[in-house]
Amino acid sequence: MSEIAIVTGGSRGIGAATARMLAQRGYDVAISYLSNEAAAATVVRDIEAAGQRGLAVKCDAASETETEKLFEAVDRELGTLTALVNNAGITGKVDRLDSAPAETIRTCIDASVYGTIWASRAAVRRMSTRYDGKGGAIVNVSSIAAKLGSPNYYVWYAAAKGAVDALTIGLAKEVVKEGIRVNAVAPGIIDTDIHEHSSGLERRVEKEAHLIPMGRAGTPEEVAEGIVWLLSDVSSYVTAEILQISGAR
Ligand code: NAP
């Protein structure tokens, strides 16, 4: 029997790399996406090419109702969930807090904070021994922004990721005796669409490489390796951990 994973925001970037890697390591994988159906379909094809079952569900992470439907689709189509990656997220256009539109701030916080809360709650209800579940693992995709604060970029995003870190630690302790481990990864600058499409920063990966002690941005696969390790039994004594993957930034 394969392990069964949900990766939110699995159509592109870190989520897509994680979904592909999980399939290569023997997981059946459901991905959610917000609007890019074609990208989601490509990831599902790659999951299937790896010999696993794949499923793509359009689901706004910010919506409790849509998230419930995502989990019900996975119950129905794939079976008992064993792994969740809360990855869906956006930054919103770079701005100062005093001039950022409320909508930018709200959309970011809703996707990251409520997104992680709704999906984690649904996962605990399926995985916890308290609900006759068989256990499992949750990994939240945070950011080193929670530590740096991201002044003049997106302090609201940094605040959202700080909330994700607090949730990781608290929930990990809450369910530690119920067969569930909860961890996070905190990536630095990773080479994905987010910088240009969400933040509005052109060629950030090249322009800001000098700010990274390692001298380069990370790849989505380098983050996926950390996520997959935290989901696997190899990390069985690791919980409430926030693993920085940032080239020492
Ligand atoms: P990305 O390349 O822009 O991909 C974002 C993914 O999330 C896409 O699959 C997108 O779906 C999905 N998505 C966005 N909003 C959503 C919502 N409300 N509901 C469901 N899905 C949603 O971003 P990324 O760089 O891989 O970022 C992934 C995670 O890593 C985010 O949580 C981000 O904050 C975090 N992170 C990234 C970096 C970095 O430098 N890249 C650094 C630290 C942390 P569509 O394809 O349908 O649009």
Positions of E strands within 94-230: 136-141, 180-187
Catalytic hit among 33, 114, 154, 157: 157
Determine the average pLDDT of the residues in 47-70. 98
> Ligand 1 mean position to 22 CA, how many Å?
17
187 three-state secondary structure? strand
Predicted confidence at residue 128, as pLDDT, reads 98
In this prediction, residues 70-84 reach a mean pLDDT of: 98
Which residues surround ligand 1 with Cβ inside 6 Å?
8-9, 11-15, 32-36, 39, 59-62, 87-90, 111, 141, 143, 187, 189-190, 192-194, 197-198
| Residue 26 pLDDT class (50, 70, 90 cuts) | very high
Please, which pLDDT band fits residue 37 given cuts at 50, 70 and 90? very high
Q: What is the CATH number of the domain that holds 116?
A: 3.40.50.720
The fraction of the chain above a pLDDT of 70, given in percent, is 100
Q: Region 121-132: what's the mean pLDDT?
A: 98
157 given a catalytic annotation: yes
Q: Is 26 left (phi over 0), alpha (psi -120 to 50) or beta?
A: left
d(CA 69, CA 218): 33
Cα 24 to averaged position of ligand 1 atoms, centre (Å): 21
pLDDT of residue 6: 99
- Mean of pLDDT values over 130-136: 98
Minimal CA–CA distance to 224: which of 232, 212, 216? 232
Q: How far is ligand 1, taken at its centre, from the CA of residue 236, in Å?
A: 27
pTM exceeds 0.95 for this model: yes
Q: What is the pLDDT of residues 158-199, one digit of tens each?
A: 999 999 999 999 999 999 999 999 999 999 999 999 999 999
Number of domains in the chain: 1
Domain of 227 in residue numbering reads as: 3-245
**Residue 1: pLDDT over 80:** no
What value does the mean pLDDT of the chain take?
A: 98
Q: According to the model, what pLDDT value does residue 74 have?
A: 98
Best residue for ligand 1 mutational test, from 6, 21, 31, 33 (most atoms within 8 Å of Cβ): 33
Phi, psi torsion values for 248, nearest 5 degrees: 75, 15
pLDDT of residue 2: 87
